[in-house]
Chain A
Amino acid sequence: MNKTSLYEEHLALNAKMVDFAGWQMPIQYANVKQEVQAVRNKVGIFDVSHMGEFYISGPEALQYIDSLVPNDIANAKTGKAIYSPLCRHDGTIIDDLIIYKTAEDKILVCVNGANIDKDYKWFQEHLGNFNCKLENQSDNTSLIAVQGPQAFSVLQKIDLGFKLTDMDYYAFQVESIQDFDIVVARTGYTGEDGFEIFGSHEYIKKIWSELIKHDAEPCGLAARDVLRLEVCFPLYGNELNDDVTPLDSALKWTVKMNKPHFIGKEALTNYEPKFQLIKLMLDKGIPRSGYPVENDQGQEIGSITSGTMSVSLSKGIAIARVDKKLYQSGQEVLVNIRGKKYTTQVLKKPFLTGGHK
């Protein structure tokens, strides 16, 4: 079982640890509600060092990454991060990534912890003759997220070793500290303003304890899941998986058909989406992953991909994958919870809009 560099810190904070994707991770510290509320109203910090980091460098780094993913990296500005799925030739999703364009010849790719090996193998297999180097730096890199309306102000209070820029959403800065490129990005998985900081284990341990001293609330994976679901960010393994394409999963905006080439383009060009993701809110009952979703005739039209009790709204919320042929917009949708049918409200917009820039 893998342990992050902050493992001892989690134990000292009385975290409840769980096995997550082969890692010992904090699921919660004192209280999930308190953690969610801290992020919505103040500031919370998350250890997400289980995530993987690949570096691509060299003259053709950009052409290489651009050939791998549907979103447009080649034309993005340096210093910008871009979200993109990673697809197979048939269009199905291997993972979802955040790609940091550090320089014209240097790219950082952040991948899901559970998918590091699968993704790295795919990256290696498709390196071909591109004139660039691919490195898996996941074992050497720690990652924390600092999230909430007070994220910027609390980070200004601590000694990062450099001056933090008040950058735009999805922008980032790179600072070299003791030969390690520290990447600070205005990104996150909560919908709130905030930053994600990639650094060496030693550096991140120091920043984490500084943040704890400044009363940032340590938050576990449970709070993280509630926060991302409240703002409807997809999770690989739930909304996204090996059997669906971005066009089945509300990710059409990431698929740039005007690009000359990317793996999966041919398949996605003529693809008729089979599924659709819908957002459900319940007055009573808590929808959970796997629960069947039905129409008012009692016909099963799909199932819940993620569901929870929203801490911010005190209502059951869920994302469901439904069969496009069996679902028409505006139609009534029920969730079957242990044999009982619960009515839902189908939302067009996310349950909550965070305060991110």
Chain B
Amino acid sequence: MSKIIEGLYYTEDHEWIQIDGDTATIGITDFAQSSLGDIVFVELPEEGETLEASNSFGVVESIKSVSDLYTPLTGEVVEKNNTIEDSPESLNEDAYASWLVKIKLSNKDEIKSLMDSKAYQNYCEANS
């Protein structure tokens, strides 16, 4: 069973989101890293770029696959985790400690579309 942390929000694309005021920190879940296998490459947007909800903002690659990262929220990238681009394998080690980007939210209403930990757990069980 993959790890799910209470207090975070989740998406159907297996991303986690931590909300702190009007900043959202986005990463991929333990379920996502485990399905991908060995993660060998991560491509993230630059600081200052604006991400549109439900658009792709980067990729995560395992040896055999390329997976898009989708943001569920609209906002400007205020910080990206450069460490992850240099050592993508840390996503396999601890997906929740390895955040990808922080964005400044332009529409906090979008948070309502996210799942809480309980809903995400049900979603994972229904889809496994």
Contacts and interface: CB of A to CB of B under 8 A. Distances in A.
A32 B43 contact: no
B40 interface: yes
A32 B38 contact: yes
A338 B43 CA distance: 10
A200 interface: no
A308 B63 contact: yes
Nearest to A311: B63
A309 B36 CA distance: 14
A33 B59 contact: no
B64 A27 contact: yes
Interface in B41-66: 41, 43, 59, 61-64, 66
Per DSSP, chain B at the interface is strand
Interface residues of B, number: 11
A341 to B, nearest CB: 14
A226 B43 contact: no
A286 B40 CA distance: 9
Contacts of B63: 32-33, 222, 226, 308-309, 311
A28 B40 CA distance: 16
Contacts of A226: 63
Q: Which of B37, B61, B62, B63 has the most chain A CB atoms inside 10 A of its CB?
A: B63
Nearest to A223: B63
A225 interface: yes
A285 interface: yes
B37 A28 contact: yes
Nearest to B85: A284
A31 B64 contact: no
A286 B41 contact: yes
Contacts of B64: 27-28, 32, 222, 225, 308
Interface of A: 27-28, 31-33, 222, 225-226, 285-286, 288, 308-309, 311, 338
10 contacts: A31-B38, A32-B62, A32-B63, A32-B64, A286-B61, A288-B66, A308-B63, A309-B41, A309-B61, A311-B63
Given A31-B38, A32-B37, A309-B61, 10 more contacts: A32-B38, A32-B62, A222-B63, A222-B64, A225-B64, A286-B61, A288-B66, A309-B63, A311-B63, A338-B43
List 10 A-B pairs, minimum CB-CB distance, nearest first. A309-B40, A222-B64, A32-B63, A286-B41, A33-B38, A309-B63, A286-B61, A32-B38, A308-B63, A288-B66
